[in-house]
Amino acid sequence: MSEADPRELQSLQYYLNEYGQQAEIFARQLEMLEQQRVESIAAIETLQALGSAQDGTVLLPLGGGVSVRATIPDPEHVLVAIGADVTVGRDNAGAVSYLEDRARELEASEKKISEMIENIRAQMNDIAARLDAAYRGQQQVPGR
């Protein structure tokens, strides 16, 4: 095998690094989407529990593993953040429906991003194989 062009090796290494950075960015986006989806599912469960609470008393998580018992005076009317710092009033069932739709959209976005990550990793594997072959070829060139 002939000696590999150093510029080609440098270019391949550059692309490998760029794809690696892209994969990291998409992986972080995937984590954020997953967290939002889990929060939506938790909110759905909480809204459904509100409807079944006989005296309107629920455990309200404050964070850090701390909760308080709270009485919800009107569990059928809730406020839903719909984005851009806009909150609208919805009935309990409407809020559940909104959150279920949102969870489905987030799941679809997760699938798309996962596919993009797989494609990037496949390209990274191809580039890594080309680099490996080029470096092995350099080692086999007589006089080195």
Contacts (Cβ under 8 Å, ≥6 apart) of 20: 124
Kindly report, residue by residue over 98-107, the tens digit of the pLDDT: 999 999 999 9
**Main-chain phi, psi angles of 51, to 5 degrees:** -65, -30
Distance CA 144, CA 142 (A): 6
Neighbours of 126 (CB within 10 A): 14
Kindly report, residue by residue over 107-140, the tens digit of the pLDDT: 999 999 999 999 999 999 999 999 888 888 777 7
Kindly report, residue by residue over 48-85, the tens digit of the pLDDT: 888 777 777 878 888 898 999 888 888 888 999 988 98
* 21/75: higher pLDDT: 21
List of domains in the chain:
6-139 (1.10.287.370)
Average pLDDT, the chain: 88
Q: What is the pTM of this model?
A: 0.76
